[in-house]
Structures are given as C-alpha cells and as structure tokens.
C-alpha cells in the first residue's frame, strides 16, 4: 500500500479554492481521495482549480458556502450528500483576515471573525460528525493558527477565534476518538497567501524579522500535515495541534 493513501475516501474542504485550502484539495486528490470543496465569493479560483484537477483525471467538485450562516451550512450538507455521498474526511479551512488595533475593532468585525472561524468550524462539523461516528471512521481537521498561541498586535479578534478552534478540537476529541473519529488541528505559521499579503507591509516585515526561518512558509509545506492527519498513518493523533511555522513558536 502506498503511504498516506486516501483511495476510497471522500474529503470535504471548506475554503478550498485558494491558499492552504487549495493545496490540501490538490494533495488529497493526488493521494486518491474524491474531494469536494467550498468557497465564498471566489468563483474564478474555484472554477480554475476544478478545471485543472478534472483535466488531470481527479474526482473533484465544488460549491459556494458562507460557513458563518447556519442555512448555508445546511445547504452544504445537502450538496455534499448529492455530489459526494458519505464524507470521511472534513477539513475546516475557511478563513478571513483582519488587521486592526483593538480600539478600532467593531463588534460587527469581531462577530465576523468568530462567525467564520469558530462558529463556522462548529456548524460544519455538526453537520458531518454524526455520520462519521455511526460508520466508525472519520477524520476532522481544523485549521487554526500559531497566533492562537502567540498573539500579535492588530489581531486580537482573529487570535480569539483561532484559539477557540484549538479548544473546540481538544474537547470534541474526547467524545469522537472512542467512536473512531480523530479530531486534530493545524496551526500554521505565516504562509504566503492572499490573506498574508493583505496585512500591512510593516506587519509582514516585523514577522520576517522574528522568524528563525527568515522566510514565510508555502502552502505546499502546510498541506502534508493535513495529509498525515487524514491518513491511516495519522490514526494515533488525537486532539493534537500540529504547527508547521518556521520556528515562529516552539512548543
């Protein structure tokens, strides 16, 4: 058997049209999985990714979903049941950026961060967890951030949401692992994505100066962590947060 083989498995990746999510979609498909992914307002990238992967012979499909809205998440499950059938592997990767000092963050902006990252992770997991538990096998992988541990100026709302994901991951693991479902999270360091480039030049330079690696990560350096956690080889990871981060934080 090929290591990290996902043949016969079906995966769903939220926020899968670009960045880390797209890299995970690509890697899972290359390792044999049928992959569905959703996006919100990123039609061009989502379609281009599906065209490339379908042309290469991979089984792939995508749809639109605002994971912060309960009805949209319900419709994601309806779509998934029709297009994918049973989902074995769920990756909660949908995310948004934010770079505001605490005094400038409105309640609406705080709610949006919590809604997409934490509430979205909770609601999507709520839809897909029970069928995994009933089947006795499943993988749930939640994308957090190293900022959940380290914090950063201008990121208090983002950090709070991402830290919540880590707590949710640990708590659910106690209930899920006895049923054959592993729940883990990934806390990447700063990675070259559109979200990172949306932050200020001064913030990015500050972060480069801090990093022992002296460079930002690449999405194809993060996706293999998800592949490990999704595979049979990752079956003994339970409630863990793995952090490929260039030395930004060392646990």
pLDDT tens for 202-243 read 878 988 998 999 999 999 999 999 999 999 999 999 999 999
pLDDT of residue 95: 95
Max CA distance (Å), the chain: 55
pLDDT exceeds cutoff 80 at 134: yes
Give catalytic residue positions.
158
Evaluate whether 140 touches 193 at the Cβ level (below 8 Å): no
Evaluate whether 69 touches 112 at the Cβ level (below 8 Å): no
Which comes out higher in pLDDT, residue 182 or 248?
Answer: 182
Options 2.40.50.140, 3.40.50.1820, 3.40.50.880, 3.40.50.720; CATH of 10-242: 3.40.50.720
Q: Can you read off the two tokens belonging to residue 169?
A: 């991951």
> pLDDT digits over 30-89, tens only?
999 999 999 999 999 999 999 999 999 999 999 999 999 999 999 999 999 999 999 999
- Give 138: exposed, middle or buried? Use CB within 10 Å, 0-12, 13-18, 19+: buried
Domain parsing of the chain, residue ranges = 10-242
pLDDT of residue 251: 59
pLDDT exceeds cutoff 80 at 250: no
Give the predicted TM-score (pTM) of the model.
0.95
Classify strands 89-92 and 60-64 as parallel, antiparallel or unpaired: unpaired
Residues 143, 185: Cα–Cα separation, whole Å: 6
**What is the H or E stretch that residue 133 is in?**
helix 120-135
């Amino acid at each position: 058997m090929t290591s990290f083989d996902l043949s016969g498995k079906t995966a769903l990746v939220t926020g899968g049209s670009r960045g880390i999510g797209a890299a995970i979609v690509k890697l899972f498909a290359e390792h044999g999985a049928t992959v569905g992914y959703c996006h919100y307002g990123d039609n061009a990238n989502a379609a281009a990714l599906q065209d490339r992967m379908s042309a290469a012979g991979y089984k792939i499909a995508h749809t639109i979903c605002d994971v912060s809205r309960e009805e949209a998440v319900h419709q994601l499950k309806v779509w998934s049941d029709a297009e994918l059938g049973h989902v074995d592997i769920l990756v909660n990767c949908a995310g948004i950026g934010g770079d505001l000092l605490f005094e400038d963050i409105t309640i609406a902006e705080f709610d949006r961060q919590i809604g997409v990252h934490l509430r979205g992770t909770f609601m999507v997991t709520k839809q897909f967890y029970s069928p995994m538990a009933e089947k006795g096998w499943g993988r749930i992988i939640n994308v957090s951030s190293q900022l959940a541990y380290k914090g950063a100026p201008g990121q208090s709302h983002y950090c709070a949401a991402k830290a919540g994901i880590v707590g949710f991951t640990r708590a659910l693991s106690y209930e899920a692992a006895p049923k054959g479902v592993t729940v883990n999270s990934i806390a990447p360091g700063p990675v070259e994505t559109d979200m990172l480039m949306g932050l200020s030049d001064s913030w990015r330079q500050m972060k480069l100066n801090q990093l022992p690696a002296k460079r930002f990560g690449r999405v194809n350096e993060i996706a293999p962590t998800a592949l490990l956690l999704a595979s049979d080889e990752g079956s003994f990871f339970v409630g863990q947060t793995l952090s490929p981060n260039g030395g930004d934080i060392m646990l």
